[in-house]
A and B are shown apart, each in its own frame.
Chain A
Amino acid sequence: MKKYLLFLLFTIVVSSQFWGCISYSRTETDIYTISEMDTTTSYIDKNAPGNRDNGIIYSSSRTVESKRDLIQRDSTVTREYPNFIRLGLFESVGLIGSGSNYAAGMGMFGVFPDFENLKTSYTGGTGKIFSGGLYRFGVVEWRLRWFRDAKDWTYGTSGLEIIMPDARTEYALASIAPLYIRKRWFLREQIPYIAITAHTGIGWYPSQYLNLAGSIDVGSIGGLNVRAYLGLAAGQNPKGSPQVKMSPAFNSSTIKSVTSVFPYFGIGISVLDFLNRVPETYREWKDHEHSSWDIGLTQMILLNSGASSIYNTNNSSTLLTGYILRLANASVALPLLDWKLYAGTSLINFIVLGNDEWGMGILPLRLGIWQTVIMDELSVEPFIEYNYYPSEIFHLGGRLNLRVTEGINLGLAVGYASGSTVRRFGSDMMRQLGKPMSFSRPYIGLSIGIFDRIFFPEHLRYFKDK
């Protein structure tokens, strides 16, 4: 029987239909054949010199050649459409009230944890608002056409889902590829959308659980979403699950399955998380509306700040001393200065000016002006950025961006960063990442964006009618 199941799975997975469904784009191709007919007529007179001795009436030497050609040219039109309702990289929710005595303190949106306590031996404490967290990595939803094509139903999954009520790992429910069915009621049908969503999810490995929730969703704009959740999760962690095995509450003789049932309320955020309504899945990618000057996975600046280099292992001088790394970025256009002003953030922002002079920001606040210099090619971006947690860094800078491809850009960057590494970092983190220190330095560097798309005025919805 196992062989049949395996064969069935293999057949489904190799079928083009399956891959067509999980692809983020749907392609339509049409061929038009243009027919052209052409007739060429040649008249040739072959008159030999000299007199002809052939009477008054004689045949002409003129020949007529008529040639008819048929040319058929195929013209192929290819159109690309989005093939998903929702596609997201990372979603995080800070849970309130899911475990008051063992609160982990994951912070607002679940992304501002107490770094000192980020270890499996930590079993929580009291006096923390955000006791747990809900995390999804790689979220995808497709349209579900049931109940006679009822509106806005979806089914979907995520690569990994973790719902932790508190700091005790044995009570955290986790599953790879949980199956979710969702129904949305849109309160606002323009970008950014506002919707009430009902979620029903089943996790199957390593935890088995049911997650019922309702949420109010705002987004997406620039891939950013904010959600407020109210839900109930109920399930079990088998004694062989990693959560139970890792738990400090058990040893090899006391290990057992753990049942975890908890209601929760939470406020969450998601990044690089894009939502389409059904009509948008019938709009070609090239006609889609965009709201941001830049959306991307990675931006890196390789820099020289004059500090002691992180690349220096034998006290010799190096051209580069550090780097700035931004992950999951968005620069959303604001309705000021003809939409050139933008507000931006990143999920994580590392600023490493040199050895011992570094810091990290989660969801930093960035304000800048985006100026297109050459359409489709070159743009400049002066900005000011405030990283408030866990390091506190003021960062003033500018970038000159050259778009190389749709997902890759190169550029020059200059800036000045001033701040402190130590704020709110724990001793464990310090041991791993280096000595705490305050710093203030200018820098110059080369920037590269990978899976980082720069938009130009022609792409932004605000300029469509101009």
Chain B
Amino acid sequence: MKIYKLFFIIFILLSSCVNEQFSLNLSNRELISGLIMSDYGTVDVINDNSVMLYDGGFIALKKPGITDLVSDITVDLKEGEGAWFAIRCASNKNEEHPGILLTYSTNGVLVQEKGKSPVNLVQYKAKIDEPTRIVFRNDCKRYDIMINCDTVYTGWTDLPNTEYVLVKALPKSKVLLTGISMFEKGEE
């Protein structure tokens, strides 16, 4: 009779597997929902609070129900050029929808919003094996981008607030994201 139970358990466990979705911060109840949007093998979820992005690795991090969102991510560039971030957007059909885009690379920081002039901040350059804390703070129409506790850019936008931060490794880059936390404005 035991073999029947084993079959049953294996079957139910198999049916519970959805590999493209993951969760972070399960241990401290600050749950973040993640979605792997790139090919198999380009993203590794490590432990409970870290994600490794390989060449082309693309994830969406979501704090369900919170849109005035403060996202705090430590970016550790292991190889290549850097990473690309997007706020005020969503995972679904993200390529069709506008958002505020930040490219953090060895060439500096580039902030872009459709219809506005890009802002290039060359003094903030990514360096290999040098962890950098990047914070996106959304406050109604205003948003702040902080790098290592410096507010490097403050912008105003008419784009709606969303629950998401999208992160993508630049080509031939390997990026470790650690210390990921997302919370509501005012809870910092």
- Chain A residues within CB distance 8 Å of chain B: 5, 8-9, 12-13, 15, 17-18, 20-22, 28-35, 37, 70, 72, 74-75, 77, 79, 142, 144-145, 148-149, 155, 157, 177, 179, 202, 204-205
Contacts and interface: CB of A to CB of B under 8 A. Distances in A.
B40 A204 contact: no
A70 B185 CA distance: 15
Nearest to A157: B11
B16 interface: yes
A332 B28 CA distance: 53
B186 interface: no
A17 B12 CA distance: 11
B92 A30 contact: yes
Contacts of A18: 12, 15-16
B121 interface: no
B178 interface: no
Interface stretch (B75-83, B145-153, B158-166): B158-166
A31 B12 contact: no
Nearest to B139: A35
B90 A30 contact: yes
Given A21-B15, A33-B162, A74-B67, A5 B40 contact: no
Contacts of B140: 35, 37, 70, 72
B65 interface: yes
Of A15, A20, A30, A75, most buried by chain B (CB within 10 Å of CB) is A30
A204 B67 contact: no
Of B41, B65, B160, most buried by chain A (CB within 10 Å of CB) is B160
Contacts of A148: 40-41
B7 A179 contact: yes
Contact of A9 (B12, B141, B160): B12
29 contacts: A12-B9, A12-B16, A13-B12, A15-B16, A18-B15, A21-B16, A30-B90, A30-B163, A31-B67, A32-B161, A32-B162, A33-B68, A33-B160, A33-B161, A34-B160, A34-B161, A35-B160, A35-B161, A37-B141, A145-B19, A148-B40, A148-B41, A155-B14, A155-B15, A177-B11, A179-B11, A202-B7, A204-B4, A205-B4
A30 B12 CA distance: 29
A23 to B, nearest CB: 11
Contacts of A21: 15-18
B46 interface: no
Interface of B: 3-5, 7-19, 39-41, 64-65, 67-68, 90-92, 140-141, 160-164
A307 B19 CA distance: 61
A3 to B, nearest CB: 13
A20 B33 CA distance: 15
Nearest to B40: A149
Contacts of A5: 5, 9
A75 B18 contact: no
Contacts of A74: 67
Contacts of A12: 9, 12-13, 16
A21 B160 CA distance: 31
Nearest to B4: A204
Main secondary structure on chain B at its contact with chain A? loop
B7 to A, nearest CB: 5
Nearest to A32: B160
Contact of A204 (B3, B15, B18, B91): B3
B65 A179 contact: no
B15 A142 contact: yes
B46 to A, nearest CB: 19
A391 to B, nearest CB: 41
Given A21-B18, A149-B40, A30 B11 contact: no
A32 B14 contact: no
B67 A32 contact: yes
A436 B17 CA distance: 55
Contacts of B41: 148-149
A204 B141 contact: no
Contacts of B10: 179
Contacts of A29: 64
Contacts of B64: 29
A211 to B, nearest CB: 14
A303 B3 CA distance: 53
Contacts of B9: 5, 8-9, 12
Contacts of A179: 7, 10-11
Contacts of A72: 68, 140, 161
A155 B18 CA distance: 13
Contacts of B141: 35, 37
A22 B15 contact: yes
Contacts of B11: 157, 177, 179
Q: Which 9 A-B pairs have the closest CB atoms?
A: A149-B40, A33-B67, A33-B161, A35-B140, A32-B160, A34-B160, A30-B90, A145-B19, A21-B15
B166 to A, nearest CB: 12
Given A30-B91, A177-B11, 20 more contacts: A8-B9, A9-B12, A13-B12, A18-B16, A21-B15, A21-B17, A28-B92, A29-B64, A30-B90, A30-B162, A31-B67, A31-B162, A32-B160, A33-B67, A33-B68, A35-B160, A37-B140, A148-B40, A149-B41, A204-B4
Contacts of B17: 21, 145
Contacts of B19: 145
Contacts of B163: 30-31
Nearest to A18: B16
Contacts of A8: 9
Nearest to A35: B140
B152 to A, nearest CB: 23
A50 B64 CA distance: 64
A177 to B, nearest CB: 7
Contacts of A34: 160-161
A149 B42 CA distance: 12
